[in-house]
Amino acid sequence: MMIFLRYESFREYLRIYPATTAIIALNIVYFIVIAINGNPNDAYHAIDFGAFVTKPITDPYGMEHPWRYLTSMFMHSGLEHLLYNMFSLLIFAPPLERLLRTPKYIVFYLLCGIAGNLASAWIQTLQDGGAQVSVGASGAIYGVFGAFLYLSLFRRAWLDESSRKTVYMILIFGVIYSFLVPSVDLWAHVGGGAAGFLLYNGFDRSMVRKQRVGR
């Protein structure tokens, strides 16, 4: 059965996937708060509300305000940006939350978002770029895709063929889209996806070790 098709009622969805529900709600509420107070796509306004910021000489990795690594994950530059990311979370995150269990999934999601910001900052330093202001949940969402890529490659029996093809198509489309649209942070996507792949590998190895010890 295709794991990315949602069959739950609204009430069942809230009960079974509490972390995904909370993350989506936080993104929507915070977007409304920011939009009420100004233009979400304005860099200075975004900075005031927690956008991720790097400065090439004085603060290339955004460590002056490290909390921005997290707050920027719940911000979006416009309604289209928000809807696209929230739709991705709504559809693709639930199977992973159920697989990892809610507490571990929350840690996974946040670490992937942080990794996406860190990768973006690192590439910016290599390219001798200027100051950077970025927002969005894409790094964390690509972490979810990265986990499913791991499952598609190394735990093929856990996913049906349609689900595996969907994962490959999303990642291919995402990379192409990231190259074609200048405003999209390609390296945040790559960093988040790589983090998701590696983190799930770690979780998978840990689960295998526990199973062996339990025998």
Q: Which CATH number characterizes residue 32's domain?
A: 1.20.1540.10
Classify residue 181: in a domain, yes or no. yes
Range 170-177 average pLDDT: 90
Range 42-58 average pLDDT: 95
Asked if the model's pLDDT at residue 210 lies above 90, the reply is no
Average pLDDT, the chain: 93
Asked if the model's pLDDT at residue 54 lies above 80, the reply is yes
- Quote the strand ranges of 83-131, DSSP E: none
Q: How confident is the model at residue 182 (pLDDT cuts 50, 70, 90)?
A: confident
Range 159-183 average pLDDT: 90
Q: How confident is the model at residue 92 (pLDDT cuts 50, 70, 90)?
A: very high
Q: What is the pTM of this model?
A: 0.94
Range 153-176 average pLDDT: 93
Asked if the model's pLDDT at residue 213 lies above 80, the reply is no
Classify residue 131: in a domain, yes or no. yes
State which residues form the domain around 166: 10-214
Asked if the model's pLDDT at residue 2 lies above 90, the reply is no
Classify residue 17: in a domain, yes or no. yes
Both tokens assigned to 15: 């009960």
Long-range CB contacts (< 8 A, 24+ apart) of 33-39?
34/75
Q: How confident is the model at residue 1 (pLDDT cuts 50, 70, 90)?
A: low
The pLDDT tens digits of the residues spanning 101-114 come to: 999 999 999 999 99
Exposure string over 175-211, b if 16+ CB within 10 A, otherwise e:
eeebeeeeeebbbbbbbbbbbbbbbbeebeeeeeeee
Classify residue 3: in a domain, yes or no. no
Range 109-135 average pLDDT: 92
Tally of domains in the chain: 1
Q: How confident is the model at residue 143 (pLDDT cuts 50, 70, 90)?
A: very high
What amino acid positions are annotated as catalytic residues? 138, 189
- Quote the strand ranges of 32-123, DSSP E: 52-54
Please work out, in degrees rounded to the nearest 5, the angle formed at the alpha carbon of residue 6 by the alpha carbons of 1 and 80.
130
Q: Measure the CA–CA gap between 172 and 11, rounded to whole angstroms.
A: 33
The pLDDT tens digits of the residues spanning 55-83 come to: 988 999 999 999 999 999 999 999 999 99
Classify residue 50: in a domain, yes or no. yes
Ramachandran area for residue 136 (φ above 0: left; ψ -120 to 50: alpha; else beta): left
Classify residue 92: in a domain, yes or no. yes
Classify residue 200: in a domain, yes or no. yes
